[in-house]
Amino acid sequence: MSNNSKDLKNSEDEKEKSPSELEETTENLIEEKSDYQNKIEALTKKINELKSANKQLSKRLEEVNVNNLENQSTNFKQKIAELENDKKALLEKSKELQAKQEYIGFLETEISRMEKTIDSLQTSIQDLEEEKKIVSKSFEESKVQEIEQDRQISEIRRACPKCGNNSHSQIREMIDKTNIISAYPKIYGKKYQCGQCGTEWRKS
């Protein structure tokens, strides 16, 4: 897996971390950056020492033409080149750590913003719950009034239109087969019959 793929995966993993984990990650990155800086300083010191030794060897080569000293000088130059490359790689790594620290700061800001949004939503939910209770109470009261009105209308309809009898025990409800509401399935309407005068009338 390439370094870019690893960094991308690490960034995606960091998005899923909690604030406490992000803080711990930040501290680890700072320590890691400090270690790299110490290594860079040590390598810089070593490079300077090698350069100094190389100068001394070059001076000796001018005085004494010795093949093995020339070989040593070449080896030192190669070593210096390798250390320079190592130093460059550590500097790049240090820049990457700095970028990660900045990204973690961005994530912490986003987390803080999201927490404020959640608090706002919770407040809105509470307000809606209160409004729901008020609406529900109003609906129940309206339903009770509607039931009462239906009951009063039902009592009016059960009164005999001829003799005025409104005693429920003396008014019979029956099927009106002359009033077909639905052919299939077959459904008939209802009608009332007065127990006092025998008058029949349809249930409207």
Give kind and range of the element (H or E) at residue 58. helix 19-63
Cα distance between residue 134 and residue 59, in whole Å? 97
Structure tokens at 121: 């939503």
Cα distance between residue 82 and residue 87, in whole Å? 9
Cα distance between residue 65 and residue 145, in whole Å? 119
Q: Do 100 and 63 fall within a single domain?
A: yes
User: SS3 of 167, please?
Assistant: coil
Model pTM score:
0.30
Upstream peptide bond of 185 is cis (omega within 30 degrees of 0): yes
Asked which of 97, 115, 135 is the last residue of a domain, the reply is 135
- Judge contact between 104 and 14, C-beta under 8 A: yes
* Domain containing residue 196: 163-204
Domain assignment of residue 145, yes or no = no
Domain assignment of residue 15, yes or no = yes
Domain assignment of residue 119, yes or no = yes
Domain assignment of residue 11, yes or no = yes
User: SS3 of 133, please?
Assistant: helix
**Looking at residue 188, what DSSP letter applies?**
E
- Check residues 12 and 60 and name the one with the higher pLDDT: 60
Count of domains for the chain:
2
Q: Do 89 and 174 fall within a single domain?
A: no
Name the average pLDDT for the chain: 78
Strands of the 200-202 sheet, one edge to the other:
171-182, 187-194, 200-202
CA dihedral 69, 72, 77, 82 (to 10 degrees): 180
Amino acid at 155: E
Domain assignment of residue 154, yes or no = no
Q: Do 125 and 174 fall within a single domain?
A: no
Kindly state the greatest CA–CA separation across the chain: 149
Tens digits of per-residue pLDDT, 80-136? 888 888 888 888 888 888 888 888 888 888 888 888 888 888 888 888 888 888 877
- Judge contact between 2 and 10, C-beta under 8 A: no
Please list the residues that pair with 182 across neighbouring strands: 187
Structure tokens at 25: 């990650």
Domain assignment of residue 141, yes or no = no
Which of 12-16, 44-48, 68-72, 78-82 has the lowest average pLDDT? 12-16
Q: Which of 77, 98, 76, 111 is nearest to 29 (CA)?
A: 98
- Supply the pLDDT for residue 49: 85
Q: Do 131 and 168 fall within a single domain?
A: no
Q: Do 76 and 129 fall within a single domain?
A: yes
- Judge contact between 204 and 169, C-beta under 8 A: no
